Amino acid sequence: MTTSSSALWHGFADMGAVNASGPFVVTRGEGVHVWDDQGNKYLDATAGLWFTNVGHGRTEIADAVRDQLSKLAHFSGFGDFTADITYELAERLSAIAPIPGSKIFFTSGGSDSIDSAAKLARRYWHEMGKPEKKIIVGRTKAYHGMHVAGTALSGLPPNREGYGELMPDAATVEWDDAKSLLGLIERIGADNIAAFFCEPIIGAGGIYLPPDGYLREVRDICREHDVLFVADEVVTGFGRIGGSWFASGKFDLQPDMMTVAKGLTSGYVPMGAVFVAPRIAEPFYAGGVWWRHGYTYGGHAGAAAAAMASLDIVEREDLLTRAQELADNLHSALAPLADHPRVEEVRSGNGAVAAVQLADPAEAMPFVKRLRERGVSGRAAGAGAMQISPAFVMTADQTAELAERFAAALG
């Protein structure tokens, strides 16, 4: 019988391997660096898990949360209740939404947001007198969180294995071929399809950038066939796309719904949201209709304070512009790694994200350890891709240093 060395069960982990080697314990962070429990310093290549957009150690956010918790930690958000800070945050987010007048439904995180959007898509068609429109469509390589709908939508087969059929009305199309979506619609009929979920940049599935024209093409297909277009911007939202608040705005996608989390609070407190275009919200705002859905901690007052403070920093320090500069720096600094024999390709150039795709995916987990030996905290994503998604405050010199350490780890 295996005896656990720790009570903590890590997410997405081989716990036997974790127990054998011990956990990597992070104790503090500042800017683009983190420190482990032995005092070793690391460049944080991934901004935690895509989220620390404004950098670690921002006491301004911590102070805002403390001040809010000392006044009102949280209250119910059901019925007509709301905390004042949550109400203010919703108005602020609606003002920067890619669709003017969008309504904001708060959740506790990205997986919540995906499941909420999936339920709302079906409920919307029910209210429109088309209850047969139930099928939710995702893409290969896609990751949409790990709740029931997100798992069913996953384009990563290992994430679905062992659970049985969680949601029968789900389908998958090729991630990079708009004609694959059109073919599915033609085969099963638009009258049966509720929504298409699309990450503008595929994140956890391996950092895959959209082919030129792909996003607009699938958006137009959805519009032409009366299928809701849901932009999953849990990763790309709040500046990660570079130069814009959202990929949906940058590419003029006009989503019917948009899911967000991570950068909303820069990860300082858990929070997510669904942006709902006015035409989708209209049946529920007309009166007499309840959407019986919600979360105890949706719109948490402390989290709302963190979000407001994070948005203040992004605006004051012009981090949307700096994110675009970071995207350019990553693209140029990482390009030479593509010539290394252990590297299949480098994917970058569209947003403050990049992937160093190892030629042998089996090397990914050992490579994470080699990066740590060279002072980089990194992460594998998809099939052998090394995720790079630093905080927007990373300088050009630090980006060059990150690339040099990657090169050293490759050997």
pLDDT at 3 over 90: no
- The pLDDT tens digits for 22-69 are 999 999 999 999 999 999 999 999 999 999 999 999 999 999 999 999
Q: How many domains does the chain have?
A: 2
Same domain, 151 and 103: yes
Alpha helix (H) residue ranges in 157-253: 157-160, 178-188, 214-224, 247-250
Same domain, 211 and 263: yes
Residue 1 lies in a domain: no
Express as a percent the part of the chain with pLDDT over 90.
Answer: 99
Give the C-alpha separation, 336 to 327, whole Å: 16
Give residue 4's pLDDT: 56
How does residue 71 score in pLDDT terms, banded at 50, 70 and 90? very high
Residue 29 neighbours by CB under 8 Å, 6+ apart:
35, 44, 52, 56, 57
Same domain, 262 and 340: no
Residue 237 lies in a domain: yes
Give residue 250's pLDDT: 96
380 has which bridge partners?
Answer: 386
pLDDT mean across residues, the chain? 97
Same domain, 307 and 398: no
Tokens representing 141? 């390589």
Same domain, 187 and 264: yes
- Give the β-pairing of 41-44 and 33-36: antiparallel
Same domain, 309 and 322: no
pLDDT at 2 over 70: no
Q: What is the DSSP string of 253-305?
A: ---SEEEE-GGGTTTSS--EEEEE-HHHHHHHHSSS-------TTTT-HHHHH
pLDDT at 397 over 80: yes
Same domain, 207 and 72: yes
- The pLDDT tens digits for 372-391 are 999 999 999 999 999 999 99
Question: How many Cα atoms sit within 13 Å of 376 on the Cβ side?
Answer: 29
Same domain, 91 and 122: yes
Counting other chains too, the contacts that 115-118 makes at CB distance below 8 Å and 24 or more residues apart are: 115/145, 115/147, 115/148, 115/149, 115/150, 116/259, 116/274, 116/293, 117/195, 117/197, 117/230, 117/257, 117/259, 117/274, 118/149, 118/153, 118/195, 118/197
Last residue of a domain, one of 316, 347, 381: 316
Looking up residue 155, the CATH number of its domain turns out to be 3.40.640.10
- The pLDDT tens digits for 266-324 are 999 999 999 999 999 999 999 999 999 999 999 999 999 999 999 999 999 999 999 99
Contact call for residues 303 and 269 (beta carbons, < 8 A): yes
Last residue of a domain, one of 316, 348, 383: 316
Same domain, 118 and 19: no
Same domain, 342 and 282: no
Number of residues that this document lists for the chain: 411
pLDDT at 5 over 90: no
Same domain, 273 and 374: no
Give residue 363's pLDDT: 97
Q: Which domain holds residue 159?
A: 61-316
Q: What is the DSSP string of 41-59?
A: EEEESSHHHHT-TT-B--H
- The pLDDT tens digits for 207-251 are 999 999 999 999 999 999 999 999 999 999 999 999 999 999 999
Same domain, 304 and 329: no
Nearest to 113 by CA among 314, 282, 264, 315: 264
pLDDT at 1 over 60: no
Last residue of a domain, one of 288, 316, 344: 316
Looking up residue 394, the CATH number of its domain turns out to be 3.90.1150.10
Residue 29 lies in a domain: yes
Residue 110 lies in a domain: yes
Give the C-alpha separation, 398 to 1, whole Å: 46
